[in-house]
Structure formats: structure tokens, C-alpha cells
Amino acid sequence: MLVNIEMPAVEGCEAQDCAYNHDLSCHARGITIGDLKHPGCDTFTPAGQHTHETKRIAGVGACKVVACRYNDDLECEADSIRVGRSGNAIICKTFDKR
Ligand code: SF4
Ligand code: SF4
């Protein structure tokens, strides 16, 4: 059985060392963001081998950052997000503290 759901799109990601990244885009089916406070990309997978799927655009499957104003009931309600670097961390750059 397949499930079709609408998810906020991951418009771009700076983490080119992630296995799901190709040409600054994320090609996972869905990603998970954060813990209850920090908006890190939980799906970040540092690896030399990269995904062969380069057409699919990832969605935000779940986000645990209740401190973000876009978060409702542990889900992201933004239209889209961008992911990038903050020091050594890979984070959701669309995060906006309540
Ligand atoms: S959004 Fe996360 S999983 Fe996707 S390419 Fe960037 S770091 Fe990797
Ligand atoms: S915008 Fe906010 S709610 Fe959406 S993924 Fe980023 S941190 Fe989570």
C-alpha cells in the first residue's frame, strides 16, 4: 500500500556531503527535523555515495521543534523550508522561534 500525503517541500539544502543531496537539493522522500528545541536535520547522512534519485524533491515528513512558530502538533506547517549549515550543524534555516 502506498500513502500520498502533502508535505512542505525542502526547497534547497547546502549539505552537499549528505547522501541525499545532489546539486544542492534534497532527494530523500521525506526528512525529519529536530528535537524539541533544535532544528537539526535528523536525516542528514554523511557519506561519499550519493542517491541516484535526482528528480524527486524531498518533503518534511515530521518536525519535532515545537519552539518554531511554523510547528503545529509536531508537524511543519510552512509551505517550504530551506536547510543549511550553522557552524558544524545542519539545520532548518526556515526555523523561526515563537
Ligand atoms: S535536507 Fe537533510 S537529508 Fe536532505 S540533503 Fe539536506 S542534510 Fe541531507
Ligand atoms: S520551519 Fe519550523 S516547523 Fe518547519 S521544519 Fe523548520 S523548524 Fe520545523
What is the 46 CA–ligand 2 centroid distance (Å)? 21
Q: Indicate the number of domains in the chain.
A: 1
Q: Residue 88 and residue 98: Cα distance in Å, rounded?
A: 24
The verdict on the CB of residue 81 being under 6 Å from ligand 1 is: no
Specify if 2 maps to a domain: no
**pTM confidence score:** 0.95
Q: What is the pLDDT of residue 43?
A: 97
Q: What is the per-residue pLDDT across 41-72, written as a single tens digit (0 to 9) for each?
A: 999 999 988 889 899 999 999 999 999 999 99
The answer to whether residue 26 is domain-embedded is yes
Establish if 98 belongs to a structural domain: no
Give the domain extent around 17.
Answer: 9-92
Amino acid letter for position 64: K
